Structure 1
Amino acid sequence: MGQAATQPSTNWHLKENARDHHTSKFSSKELIVRRGQAFIVTFHGTEQPEQNLTFITETGPKPSKLAKTQATFGISSTVSKESWSAVLQSTSSNSVSISISSPPNAVIGRYKLSVRSTSSESSSPASLGTFVLLFNPWSSGDDVFMPNKAECDEYVLEEFGIIFAGNKNRINSFGWNFGQFQEDILNICLSMLDRSLNYRQDPATDVSHRNDPKYLGRVLSAMVNANDDQGVLLGNWSGNYDGGKSPSSWTGSGEILQNWKKSGFKPVRYGQCWVFAAVLTTVLRCLGIPTRTITNFSSAHDADGNLRVDEFYDASGNHLDRAADSIWNFHVWNESWFSRSDLGPSYSGWQVLDATPQEESGGIYQCGPASRNAIKEGDVDLDYDCPFVFAEVNADCMYWNYDPATGKKTLMFSKSTVIGQFISTKAVGRDDRVDVTNDYKYEEGSKKERDIFKKARKKLGLEDKFDPTAPTPQEIDQKPDISGKFKVAGPLEVGKDLNLILVLANLQSDAKTVHVNMTAWSTVYTRRPVHEIWKDSIPVTLSPKEEKQFPIKISYTEYQQQLTTDNTIQVTALCHVEGGIQVLVQRDITLDNPAIDIQVLGEAKVNKEVDVEVIFTNPIDMEVMDCVLQVEGNDLLRGVLEIAIPPLKASEKSSTKFKLIPFETGPKHLLVNFSCDKFADIKNFKMVNVID
């Protein structure tokens, strides 16, 4: 028996390798590199370094050459493009420097590296330690290659994001701290993969698929929600968030992922769509897959897969929660950038992934990757989940009047241009909104868009089938005698009365008698009704071609107790026209929170204290209690700072000061979230430029 080799000491050249591999932002003592690119390692203590050396890289529980989770390679004169290789850089009496390259399609994850001297075949390999290998969007051989450097910087390296919300009439936005380079986040992302259902069923096979971004994206879209696999976040859309944090109170992913790990991997309470999407952005950017969040306004949830969304109302105008289908004020999902070797080059580029648990796919709550190009062209027969995403942006809407007593439903009207508006994402390198609606569909209502809609229905086998729920041709052709709309007449702010005007117009040349039933409900952003706030009914007579206006006032005291953290109210007027068809007038209203102001008092310098002041004025004429300020920001402070603030009397101004000690230079974002018993989650962010 030969002697076991002595343990060599390894110099991983952390700083130089991290710089070359765009991994300097990770706060790790372990080497983190990207695939398809060389990295330098120097090790000491091997005897006779000039003798032939063999290197072994291994990942996963049962490394094998066949599964590409193990590689054995000697020193060669040139880098191999197809396999792992090592090129000698320099040698001295007791140390060797080599440059190791992985293939551009290598499995990502944590690797063990060991070395054996071929002169002593019998000795066991000496371990050089571990390193982590990630996807490489900077390398042209990688599936995630992104030729534009500014886009790489934004979609892989940027830790601050802006998420768009509200509704199509009033888009608002808030900052989010992705924090993909924060301490331990990479380890949590890797352990997320090892907790997936796929890994539990067959660990070796699962690890061997981790070279493929579409496989990983799909697995992680399932792991971010807790529905099947004890994943990261438990969804809750009830409006009641006892026993956890309200989804709108989070300001970043770091706290969520750390909490998941700290609790022994019990699902964190609670998430809604933007929280799922933001956490998935963090995980994919961390692993090196370019990813962004996308907000779709008036987003359809087509539960029965017929590319139509049915909405039901009773005779009083109450929105009935009886269909599985729904139209959300907004919905947030992800796009990740990679090529689709399974579908062909025309479907490469941005791929839709959605971690919000809405419908099962393959028996699990996961969604995507659906090629954005396939959705635009109506190629809904392609993997994965294209029909669901197609419906989200382009379903037709059917509005029905439903009589619970008889079970009879009558179509009021249908619309093909309601769904999928102002599809939004953050601009590259700027805090602006970019509209990407035209990347998801052709111009709404154009012949091309309607042709694609028909093509999609045909591919799903929907165009000829008799559908008992479908409206009859007579129902579709009926034209209403009157039209109506709600106009806003005053500020849309929490704490102020809500003033609207119902405008009704007679489209005919004879007089019309109309009975109008009006309701207002507080809702969550998915438009699920939570509490009735107000109702009224009025008889109206309209002369030929006459237009009339009816002012409506809903006072703050009426809605204050009922409002959800989403600040959304749906108002509906169901107009029963004598001798004609019913007309539904509705509007979803999102109320703005009062403002909160952030001031940085002085210059922000590395390792120097700087004061920050956050100012809030109570705008209502009653006291607000239970006030809490949450603050976070990468490279400005570690973790999340929570400050309790004393109650504020009517119109009282509060100023809260705290200190930051920034630890990196450059433009950084400070995020604040203020909550109290009358206002949920007032958010703002401030860019802080940190200098040396």
Structure 2
Amino acid sequence: MGQAATQPRTDWHLKENAREHHTSKFSSEELIVRRGQAFTITFNGTERPEQNLIFIAETGPKPSKATKTLATFDISSTVSKEGWSAVLQSSSSSSVSISISSPHNAVIGRYRLSVQSGSSSPHNLGTFVLLFNPWSSGDDVFMPNKAECEEYVLEEFGIIFAGNKNHINSFGWNFGQFQGDILNICLSIMDRSLYYRQDPLTDVAHRHDPRYLGRVLSAMVNANDDQGVVLGNWSGKYEGGKNPTSWTGSGEILQSWKKSGFRPVKYGQCWVFAAVLTTVLRCLGIPTRTITNFSSAHDADGNLRVDEFYDADGNHLERGADSVWNFHVWNESWFTRNDLGPSYSGWQVLDATPQEESGGIYQCGPTSRHAVKEGEVELDYDGPFVFAEVNADCMYWNYDSATGKKTLIFSKSTEIGASISTKAVGRDDRVDVTRDYKYEEGSAKEREIFKKARKKLGLEDKFDPTAPKQEEVEQKPDISGKFKVAGSLEVGKDVNLLLVLENLQSDAKTVHVNMTAWSTLYTRRRVNQIWKDSISVTLAPKEEKQFPIKIKYPEYQQQLTTDKTIQVTALCHVEDGMQVLVKRNITLDNPAIDIQVLGEAKVNKEVFVEVTFTNPIDEEMKDCMLQVEGSDLLQGILELRIPPLKASEKSSTKFKLIPSEAGPKHLLVNFSCDKFADIKTFKMVNVIN
């Protein structure tokens, strides 16, 4: 055995260790384990194993005991509670099996493991990757509920909610955190952060802390400041890259980032940043989910108010940096907040969309969700920004560009933060978590928390238009108005609405109404004017009248953005009375796609899938393309060209899957052509052995 003594051969027991550590889904030749839990290795080449073997585990550029990036430990009879330890399992004349345990708060990342026997120089046993361990009660990311662990760490399929608060829609996303090279890419994201570049030793030493890593990764997923993963683009023009709506999974984005030599991938918007961050954090073992907030405020000046400006024609003006988005997607990650105390542990908000700087760079969070609900906006990190996203007050102003004068039309405290949504655990359903972010809108408790938050920010003495002053009490609007939807809202069909106006007074009122419709992005930024009209109407006392509005498909077809959103406003000038603003944000639905699995889906057996689509418009559709992906169903992304489709013509496309693993899997389909961008759907495929 003289030869073997020079170079031990290591058996990492990949299958058994992976099963014990919930890492079986990684496709890796390298050992991947979770901290605070034992794993077994066997190596040969030590003739007398019981003789003072010393193990060395090290990570990072200059490992040291002081930074806990270097551990040396010998064989002991029991597992250490505090540090690394090795317990002898069995030994023979040629090999030895050892059970190695890391502490619950070990630095995560790639480790080098070596062994030293007596005074000889250390033998390198190889490398392994250590991850967070939500299954272990000592870990900061411990999640007691096993079903939640499965969903928020191991599930590769997600549903992202979008649309607007009156009309919520959703699409599937393939997180793909266990695909090919994704773990290595996640490790290299950490090594490319500004924190690491400025001080690699301190950065690596902090990698035991999910709070620290969550913040670092929220900065690295966007490309601002640090050449991170995805470049944001909200212009409506996406030359030189991909339209954010066209992505169906994180794998393609992360692989592209690596392949391009770590140049930012073009382009992303909020759900892309949130989905990629979900992938990275789940991959590293931090339980994470995506959250969608409808009517989400972007409060640029930190006063917990958003100001919106309109001209006399009812056009929404781009003034000031505040905005309200139809929806905004961020993340929640689960971990303890040792810095804030036990009541602030649990779900933490992280937001990788570059909106406002925090500590000089574009990062956001982790903000304790509980702190947001209780108005504790002074706690780390970025509390005021997240609080405003879900609970700012909305101020609507009439702005006269000639005089520069602005007049408050009205203010509303119940507009922001509606139907806050996430995917259910183990089901493809929507769960509403609004009550976890704030008390019921309009309740005394909610207003009390809002005032408390303003007070903590030193804002309580400023002008508060929501508090009635004596002279303003009489000033109530004479009429009320709303837009009602008449019929379906579908791309390719006319949009039919009703403007409903009601006289609230006991004398007749004459009203001049200026109406406009603009195509917008989901951030409500106006792109193209589609339609305008004006009417004058006299309403008898207490009378209600309805005015039909039709926006024809040819009028909006060329003007629509890929977000398929239209903002309709009516500014009502009441003679001798207050102005009334009526507005509605409309999201149009795409036509339907149908997916059929033709037969039984079995592991390693071919099964055919048929995707059908009917052209709903009176014009030919060209440049048709079908994109399909799904973890454990397909390798990579399948792209299929489809011949042009005449008006009302139906297309049917067949392709085959060879599932690689049993269980409920999701197939994601994205259809696009010159008339419709990114019609998405997904289908659950139950794969049996």
1:179 has 2:176 as partner: yes
Q: CA separation in 1, counterparts of 2:316 and 2:16?
A: 61
Partner of residue 433, structure 2: 436
The aligned amino acid for 1:661 is I
Scaled by the length of structure 1, the TM-score of the pair is 0.98
Q: Which secondary structure state, in structure 2, belongs to the residue aligned with residue 156 of structure 1?
A: helix
Decide which of 355, 368, 373 is 1:371's aligned counterpart.
368
The aligned amino acid for 1:108 is I
Q: CA separation in 2, counterparts of 1:67 and 1:50?
A: 30
Structure 1 residue 243: Cα displacement: 1.2
Are the structure 2 counterparts of residues 163 and 477 from structure 1 closer, same or farther at C-alpha, using a change threshold of 3 Å?
farther
User: Which runs of structure 2 are paired with 1:374-389 in the superposition (5 Å)?
Assistant: 374-389=371-386
Deviations 1:67-96 (A, max 9, x none): 000000000010011100000000000111
Scaled by the length of structure 2, the TM-score of the pair is 0.98
Q: CA separation in 2, counterparts of 1:169 and 1:657?
A: 36
Query: Contact 1:5–1:124 at 8 Å: present in 2 too?
Result: no
For structure 1, which segment, 473-482 or 576-585, has the greater mean C-alpha deviation from structure 2 after superposition?
473-482
1:87 has 2:87 as partner: yes
Q: Which secondary structure state, in structure 2, belongs to the residue aligned with residue 205 of structure 1?
A: helix
User: Which runs of structure 2 are paired with 1:637-676 in the superposition (5 Å)?
Assistant: 637-676=634-673
Q: CA separation in 2, counterparts of 1:465 and 1:652?
A: 61
Structure 1 residue 604: Cα displacement: 1.2
Are the structure 2 counterparts of residues 473 and 568 from structure 1 closer, same or farther at C-alpha, using a change threshold of 3 Å?
farther
Decide which of 129, 138, 143 is 1:141's aligned counterpart.
138
Structure 1 residue 466: Cα displacement: 6.1
Deviations 1:265-300 (A, max 9, x none): 111111111111011000000000000000011111
Structure 1 residue 50: Cα displacement: 2.3
The aligned amino acid for 1:413 is F
Q: CA separation in 1, counterparts of 2:519 and 2:470?
A: 35
User: Which runs of structure 2 are paired with 1:548-559 in the superposition (5 Å)?
Assistant: 548-559=545-556
Q: CA separation in 1, counterparts of 2:241 and 2:345?
A: 39
Partner of residue 37, structure 1: 37
Deviations 1:375-418 (A, max 9, x none): 00000000000110000000000000001111100000000001
Structure 1 residue 476: Cα displacement: 7.9
Are the structure 2 counterparts of residues 99 and 474 from structure 1 closer, same or farther at C-alpha, using a change threshold of 3 Å?
farther
Partner of residue 600, structure 1: 597
For structure 1, which segment, 540-549 or 205-214, has the greater mean C-alpha deviation from structure 2 after superposition?
540-549
Deviations 1:154-193 (A, max 9, x none): 0000001111110010011111100000000000000000
1:416 has 2:394 as partner: no
Structure 1 residue 511: Cα displacement: 1.2
Structure 1 residue 490: Cα displacement: 1.3
Structure 1 residue 348: Cα displacement: 0.3
Query: Contact 1:411–1:475 at 8 Å: present in 2 too?
Result: no
Partner of residue 65, structure 1: 65
The aligned amino acid for 1:11 is D
Q: CA separation in 2, counterparts of 1:410 and 1:469?
A: 15
For structure 1, which segment, 473-482 or 139-148, has the greater mean C-alpha deviation from structure 2 after superposition?
473-482
Query: Contact 1:493–1:591 at 8 Å: present in 2 too?
Result: yes
1:295 has 2:295 as partner: no
Query: Contact 2:412–2:466 at 8 Å: present in 1 too?
Result: no
1:125 has 2:113 as partner: no
Q: Which secondary structure state, in structure 2, belongs to the residue aligned with residue 605 of structure 1?
A: coil
Structure 1 residue 547: Cα displacement: 0.8
Query: Contact 2:245–2:562 at 8 Å: present in 1 too?
Result: yes
Identity of aligned residues (%): 86
Structure 1 residue 465: Cα displacement: 4.0
Q: Which secondary structure state, in structure 2, belongs to the residue aligned with residue 112 of structure 1?
A: strand
Query: Contact 1:414–1:476 at 8 Å: present in 2 too?
Result: no
Partner of residue 480, structure 1: 477
Q: Which secondary structure state, in structure 1, belongs to the residue aligned with residue 75 of structure 2?
A: strand
Are the structure 2 counterparts of residues 148 and 406 from structure 1 closer, same or farther at C-alpha, using a change threshold of 3 Å?
same
For structure 1, which segment, 47-56 or 585-594, has the greater mean C-alpha deviation from structure 2 after superposition?
47-56
Partner of residue 245, structure 1: 242
Q: CA separation in 2, counterparts of 1:435 and 1:257?
A: 30
Deviations 1:27-64 (A, max 9, x none): 00000000000000100012322211000000000100
Structure 1 residue 478: Cα displacement: 2.6
The aligned amino acid for 2:335 is F
Query: Contact 1:43–1:97 at 8 Å: present in 2 too?
Result: yes
User: Which runs of structure 2 are paired with 1:575-614 in the superposition (5 Å)?
Assistant: 575-614=572-611
Structure 1 residue 331: Cα displacement: 0.5
Runs of 5+ in structure 1 lacking a partner? none
Query: Contact 2:12–2:40 at 8 Å: present in 1 too?
Result: yes
Q: Which secondary structure state, in structure 1, belongs to the residue aligned with residue 16 of structure 2?
A: helix
Query: Contact 2:5–2:45 at 8 Å: present in 1 too?
Result: no
Q: CA separation in 1, counterparts of 2:281 and 2:425?
A: 17
Q: CA separation in 2, counterparts of 1:262 and 1:599?
A: 35
Q: CA separation in 1, counterparts of 2:466 and 2:560?
A: 34
Partner of residue 78, structure 1: 78
Are the structure 2 counterparts of residues 293 and 17 from structure 1 closer, same or farther at C-alpha, using a change threshold of 3 Å?
same
Partner of residue 254, structure 1: 251
The aligned amino acid for 1:68 is K
Deviations 1:454-487 (A, max 9, x none): 0000000000246999998756863111100001
**RMSD between superposed Cα atoms in Å:** 1.5
Q: CA separation in 1, counterparts of 2:445 and 2:311?
A: 36
Instruction: Give the aligned length.
Output: 687
Q: CA separation in 2, counterparts of 1:377 and 1:199?
A: 34
Deviations 1:300-353 (A, max 9, x none): 110000000000000000000112111111111000000000000000000000
1:406 has 2:403 as partner: yes
The aligned amino acid for 2:581 is L
Q: CA separation in 2, counterparts of 1:206 and 1:468?
A: 46
Q: Which secondary structure state, in structure 1, belongs to the residue aligned with residue 6 of structure 2?
A: coil
The aligned amino acid for 1:459 is K
Partner of residue 232, structure 2: 235
The aligned amino acid for 2:11 is N
The list of structure 1 runs, each at least 4 consecutive aligned residues, that deviate by more than 3 angstroms after superposition, is: 465-477
Decide which of 428, 441, 451 is 1:454's aligned counterpart.
451
1:166 has 2:166 as partner: no
Deviations 1:104-126 (A, max 9, x none): 000000000000012xx2x3210
Query: Contact 1:10–1:44 at 8 Å: present in 2 too?
Result: yes
1:510 has 2:507 as partner: yes
Q: CA separation in 2, counterparts of 1:204 and 1:228?
A: 21
Q: CA separation in 1, counterparts of 2:243 and 2:579?
A: 39
Deviations 1:196-230 (A, max 9, x none): 00000011110000000000000000000001111
Q: CA separation in 2, counterparts of 1:225 and 1:40?
A: 38
Are the structure 2 counterparts of residues 239 and 43 from structure 1 closer, same or farther at C-alpha, using a change threshold of 3 Å?
same
The aligned amino acid for 1:29 is E
Are the structure 2 counterparts of residues 153 and 226 from structure 1 closer, same or farther at C-alpha, using a change threshold of 3 Å?
same
1:325 has 2:294 as partner: no
Q: CA separation in 2, counterparts of 1:165 and 1:89?
A: 53
Q: Which secondary structure state, in structure 2, belongs to the residue aligned with residue 604 of structure 1?
A: coil
Structure 1 residue 689: Cα displacement: 1.3
Are the structure 2 counterparts of residues 343 and 473 from structure 1 closer, same or farther at C-alpha, using a change threshold of 3 Å?
farther
Partner of residue 563, structure 1: 560
Partner of residue 615, structure 1: 612
Q: Which secondary structure state, in structure 2, belongs to the residue aligned with residue 270 of structure 1?
A: strand
For structure 1, which segment, 45-54 or 345-354, has the greater mean C-alpha deviation from structure 2 after superposition?
45-54
Query: Contact 1:4–1:124 at 8 Å: present in 2 too?
Result: no
Q: CA separation in 1, counterparts of 2:683 and 2:342?
A: 41
The aligned amino acid for 1:636 is L
Q: CA separation in 2, counterparts of 1:413 and 1:495?
A: 35
